[in-house]
C-alpha cells in the first residue's frame, strides 16, 4: 500500500505524464545537467508543484522533475537535490525518492560534483563510485522503526550496474575511474588536514551529497549506481582556490561529455 503522504505528488505526476512508467530514477548534481537534453518527449514539472519535493536553493540545481525516455528506458530525472547543509536535516530526499519508487522505479542513478584526493584523477575526470564513507555518520532513517531500519550497505553501489557502466564507457572511449566517495557535510570545503585524513581512510573523492540518498534508496530496495564529476583537487593538493563558483565553472566545462556518457549508460542498462 502506498504511503498516503506520497499520493499528492504521485497524482500530479500521473496527470501530467500519463504515458510514462519509469523504471530508472536519476538525480542530477552539478556538471550533469545537460543530460536533460537527451530525454525524448520530455514532460517537465517544477518541484514547487510536487508536494514533498525540495525547493531548489543551490545555484546549478534547477529544481525540476523531467519524465521521458532515454535509450531503451522510460526515466524520471530530478534536476537538483536537497543537501544536508541547507537545513541540517539529511532526509530531504526521502519523499522524492519514495515517490519515484512508487511510480515504478527500480534503479537510482546518482551524480555529483566532487573533489579528487588522487593525483591520477585530475579535474574533468569521471569516477564511478564503488563504495562510500559516511564521514559525519548521519542517517536519513531516524524516523524509521523496527528491524527494517538496519540496512546493509555492502554493495550499496550495485556491482552488476557498475560493470555495465564501465563497459559502456569503454565502448565510448571515455575514461571512467573507480573509487570510494567520502561524504562531508559542508557547506564549507574541507581543510588540508581533513583531506589528508580522508586519504588515510581510503577515500578517492569527497563531496557534500549522494550518501543520504543512497541510504534511502537501499532502505527502499532500489539498486544504486553513482558517478562523480571531478571539479577540483582536495584542499592542499593544488594551488587552486576552492569556491562554489569554481565548482560550477569546472562542471560547466565538462558537462556535455559527462552527460553524453551518462545518457548512454542509463539508456543502455540491462535491468533483467
Catalytic residues: 30, 61, 83, 85-86, 113, 208-209, 232, 244
By C-alpha distance, which of 65, 53, 63, 84 is closest to 26?
A: 65
221 Rama sector, left if φ>0, alpha if ψ -120 to 50, beta otherwise:
left
Cβ neighbours, 10 Å, residue 192: 11
Kindly provide the b/e burial profile for residues 61-79, where b requires at least 16 CB atoms within 10 angstroms of the residue's own CB: bebbbbbbbbeebbbbbbb
By C-alpha distance, which of 41, 74, 78 is closest to 63?
A: 78
The DSSP element (H or E) to which 212 belongs, if any, is helix 211-220
φ, ψ for residue 154 (rounded to 5)? -70, 130
Residues 6 or more apart in contact with residue 43 via CB below 8 angstroms: 16, 17, 20, 66, 67, 68
Q: Give the integer Cα–Cα distance in Å for 166 and 265.
A: 9
Q: Give the integer Cα–Cα distance in Å for 241 and 160.
A: 38
Contact criterion met (CB below 8 Å) for 22 and 106: no
Amino acid at each position: 500500500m502506498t504511503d498516503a503522504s506520497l499520493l499528492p505528488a504521485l497524482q500530479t505526476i500521473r496527470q501530467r505524464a500519463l504515458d510514462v512508467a519509469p523504471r530508472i530514477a536519476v538525480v542530477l548534481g552539478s556538471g550533469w545537467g545537460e543530460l536533460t537534453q537527451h530525454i525524448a518527449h520530455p514532460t517537465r514539472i517544477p518541484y514547487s508543484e510536487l508536494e514533498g519535493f525540495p525547493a531548489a536553493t543551490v545555484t546549478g540545481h534547477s529544481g525540476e522533475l523531467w519524465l521521458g525516455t532515454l535509450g531503451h528506458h522510460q526515466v524520471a530525472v530530478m534536476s537538483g537535490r536537497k543537501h544536508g547543509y541547507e537545513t541540517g536535516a539529511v532526509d530531504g530526499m526521502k519523499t522524492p525518492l519514495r515517490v519515484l519508487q512508487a511510480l515504478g522505479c527500480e534503479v537510482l542513478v546518482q551524480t555529483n560534483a566532487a573533489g579528487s584526493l588522487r593525483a591520477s584523477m585530475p579535474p574533468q575526470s569521471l569516477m564511478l563510485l564503488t563504495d562510500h564513507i559516511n564521514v559525519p555518520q548521519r542517517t536519513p532513517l531516524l524516523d524509521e522503526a523496527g528491524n527494517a531500519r538496519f540496512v546493509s550497505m555492502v554493495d550499496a553501489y550495485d556491482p552488476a550496474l557498475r560493470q555495465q557502466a564501465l563497459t559502456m564507457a569503454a565502448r565510448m572511449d571515455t575514461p571512467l575511474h573507480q573509487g570510494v566517495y567520502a561524504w562531508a557535510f559542508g557547506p564549507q570545503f574541507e581543510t588540508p588536514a581533513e583531506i589528508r585524513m580522508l586519504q588515510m581512510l581510503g577515500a578517492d573523492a569527497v563531496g557534500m551529497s549522494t550518501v543520504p540518498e543512497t541510504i534511502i534508496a537501499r532502505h527502499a530496495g532500489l539498486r544504486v549506481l553513482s558517478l562523480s564529476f571531478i571539479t577540483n583537487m582536495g584542499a592542499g593538493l593544488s594551488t587552486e582556490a576552492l569556491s562554489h563558483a569554481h565548482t560550477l565553472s569546472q562542471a560547466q566545462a565538462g558537462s556535455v561529455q559527462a552527460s553524453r556518457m551518462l545518457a548512454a549508460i542509463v539508456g543502455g542498462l540491462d535491468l533483467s
